Amino acid sequence: MKRAFSAARGGTGPVLALAALLLLGGCAILSAGEGPPVRLFTPHPKTSFDPDLPKVEWQLAIDPPIAPASLDTVRIAVQKSPLELDYYANAAWADRVPSMVQTLLISSFENTGKIVGVGRMSSTLRADFTLRTEIRDFEVQGEAAQPSARVRIVSKLIRMPEREIVADDTCDYNQPAPGGTLDAIVEAYNDVLGRCMRRIVEWTMRTGNRVKRVR
């Protein structure tokens, strides 16, 4: 079966793995001294969408997602209890969660082939709308033997240049892992994040078109 995520093992030891994380912008020290190298994981952007998704003639800027400090990290979070959050040892996302989600969103919109322009805010992107997102949950939940990946993202579509919020939506999905291994858990993350990406993309494009029509 084709793997639905990418994993990059460290070089010849923990020092090289930690150096790679620092180059990627991760500031947290995931392991030190002797031990296995850190494994890096990267979910894939969404590539399949509703065939009836409309083509849009406007441009979209995607702001960096907001996230609590506990999720604004490269570390893979585990919710042990309502009051306790921990992280997997020797495993990490290839980028901080907000930066990773922003990049995946941009790629997912591009993969529709139905939007004129999408990207980060820049002088070359004359955005008609801005998509602002907040990551509320991005962690593993449940018992160790039956873990699940939960992703909850709140989206707000903002009309430019007025900076007026015209609509909001929330995707909240929980995907059981097919096993308790790290690979199975990241596989569940990839699936649940893909569902969330599809919802955000389709909701944004349909809502933006509806707002444009009523102006």
Q: How many domains does the chain have?
A: 1
Q: Is the pLDDT of residue 25 over 50?
A: no
Domain that holds residue 102: 57-86+94-214
Q: pLDDT tens digits for 154-190? A: 999 999 999 999 999 999 999 999 888 999 999 999 9
Place 21 in a pLDDT band, splitting at 50, 70 and 90: very low
Dihedral sign, Cα of residue 55, residue 192, residue 26, residue 23: negative
Q: pLDDT tens digits for 35-75? A: 688 999 999 999 999 999 999 999 999 999 999 999 999 99
* Helix or strand run (H / E) with residue 59: strand 56-62
Question: Mean pLDDT lowest for which of 10-14, 55-59, 66-70, 205-209?
Answer: 10-14
pLDDT at position 215, please?
63
* Helix or strand run (H / E) with residue 138: strand 129-141
Q: Is the pLDDT of residue 9 over 50?
A: no
37 alpha carbon, distance to own chain's centre? 24
Do residues 124 and 66 lie in contact, with contact meaning Cβ atoms separated by under 8 Å? Answer: no
Q: How many CB atoms lie within 10 A of CB 49?
A: 18
8 belongs to a structural domain? no
Which two three-digit tokens encode residue 19? 């150096």
Do residues 156 and 167 lie in contact, with contact meaning Cβ atoms separated by under 8 Å? Answer: yes
Place 20 in a pLDDT band, splitting at 50, 70 and 90: very low
Q: Is the pLDDT of residue 101 over 60?
A: yes
136 belongs to a structural domain? yes
d(CA 87, CA 119): 31
11 belongs to a structural domain? no
Which comes out higher in pLDDT, residue 104 or 12? 104
Across the range 128-151, mean pLDDT stands at 94
Which comes out higher in pLDDT, residue 194 or 5? 194
* Helix or strand run (H / E) with residue 213: helix 182-214
40 belongs to a structural domain? no
Q: Is the pLDDT of residue 137 over 90?
A: yes
Place 34 in a pLDDT band, splitting at 50, 70 and 90: low
Which comes out higher in pLDDT, residue 96 or 3? 96
Q: What is the DSSP string of 142-210?
A: S-TTS-EEEEEEEEEEEETTTTEEEEEEEEEEEEE-SSSSHHHHHHHHHHHHHHHHHHHHHHHHHHHHH
Q: Is the pLDDT of residue 13 over 90?
A: no
206 belongs to a structural domain? yes
- Average model confidence (pLDDT) for the chain? 86
37 belongs to a structural domain? no
CATH code, 116: 3.40.50.10610
pLDDT at position 211, please?
94
d(CA 202, CA 25): 31
d(CA 69, CA 6): 25
27 belongs to a structural domain? no
pLDDT at position 107, please?
98
Dihedral sign, Cα of residue 151, residue 53, residue 207, residue 128: positive
Q: How many CB atoms lie within 10 A of CB 193?
A: 26
Q: What is the DSSP string of 88-103?
A: EEEEEESS-HHHHHHH
